[in-house]
Amino acid sequence: METSNATPPTLSIRDLRVWFELRRWGFGHVGDVRAVDGISFEIRPGEAAAVVGESGCGKSSLMKTILGLYKPRTGSVYFSGEDIHAQGRKSIHAYRANVGYVQQDPFAALPAFMNVWQILEEPLIIAGGHNKANRQDRIRQVLEEVKIHPIEDFLPKYPHMLSGGQLQRIVIARAMILKPRVIIADEPVSMLDASVRVEILRLLRGLQQSHNLSFIYITHDLSTVKYFSEYIFVMYAGKLVEKAPIGRMLRNSSHPYTQALLSATSDPEAMNARVYKEVPSGEPPSLVNPPPGCRFHPRCSKCIHGLCDVQDPPEIHLTPQHQVACWLYSQR
Ligand X SMILES: Nc1ncnc2c1ncn2[C@@H]1O[C@H](COP(=O)(O)OP(=O)(O)OP(=O)(O)O)[C@@H](O)[C@H]1O
Rounded (10°) angle between helices 164-176 and 116-127: 10
If binding is defined by CB under 6 A, does position 146 make contact with ligand X? no
The torsion region of residue 103 among left (phi > 0), alpha (psi -120 to 50) and beta comes to beta
Contacts of residue 281, Cβ cutoff 8 Å, sequence gap at least 6: 299
Considering the complex, what minimum distance in angstroms separates the CB of residue 33 from Mg ion? 14
CA–CA separation, 179 and 228 (whole Å): 20
If binding is defined by CB under 5 A, does position 60 make contact with Mg ion? yes
User: Which of the stretches 139-147, 171-179, 205-213, 219-227 binds another protein when contact is defined by CB under 8 A?
Assistant: 171-179
Considering the complex, what minimum distance in angstroms separates the CB of residue 33 from ligand X? 5
Considering the complex, what minimum distance in angstroms separates the CB of residue 160 from another protein? 11
Q: Are 47 and 213 in contact (CB under 8 A)?
A: no
CA–CA separation, 324 and 281 (whole Å): 21
**Helices and strands (DSSP H and E) totals, the chain:** 11, 12
Could you tell which of another protein, ligand X, Mg ion, none binds residue 10, using a CB distance below 5 to 8 A set by kind? none
Could you tell which of another protein, ligand X, Mg ion, none binds residue 34, using a CB distance below 5 to 8 A set by kind? none
Contacts of residue 253, Cβ cutoff 8 Å, sequence gap at least 6: 242, 244, 259, 261, 262
If binding is defined by CB under 6 A, does position 220 make contact with ligand X? yes
Which of 32, 82, 83, 122: binder of another protein (CB under 8 A)? 122
Considering the complex, what minimum distance in angstroms separates the CB of residue 143 from Mg ion? 27
If binding is defined by CB under 6 A, does position 33 make contact with ligand X? yes
Query: Toward another protein, which CB reaches closer, 15 or 21?
Result: 21
**Count of alpha carbons within 13 angstroms of residue 13, beta-carbon side:** 23
User: Which of the stretches 58-66, 146-154, 271-279, 320-328 binds ligand X when contact is defined by CB under 6 A?
Assistant: 58-66
Q: What are phi and psi of 5, to 5 degrees?
A: -135, 140
User: Which of the stretches 37-45, 123-131, 148-156, 261-269 binds another protein when contact is defined by CB under 8 A?
Assistant: 123-131
- Give which of 234, 237, 244 is closest to 298, Cα–Cα: 237
If binding is defined by CB under 6 A, does position 287 make contact with ligand X? yes
Considering the complex, what minimum distance in angstroms separates the CB of residue 89 from Mg ion? 26
SS3 at position 211: coil
For 252, other C-beta atoms within 10 Å of its C-beta total 13
Could you tell which of ligand X, Mg ion, another protein, none binds residue 20, using a CB distance below 5 to 8 A set by kind? ligand X
Residues near another protein (CB under 8 A) are 64, 67, 69, 93, 96-97, 99-101, 103-105, 108-113, 122-123, 126-127, 171, 174, 178
Residues near ligand X (CB under 6 A) are 20, 33, 35, 53, 55-61, 220, 287
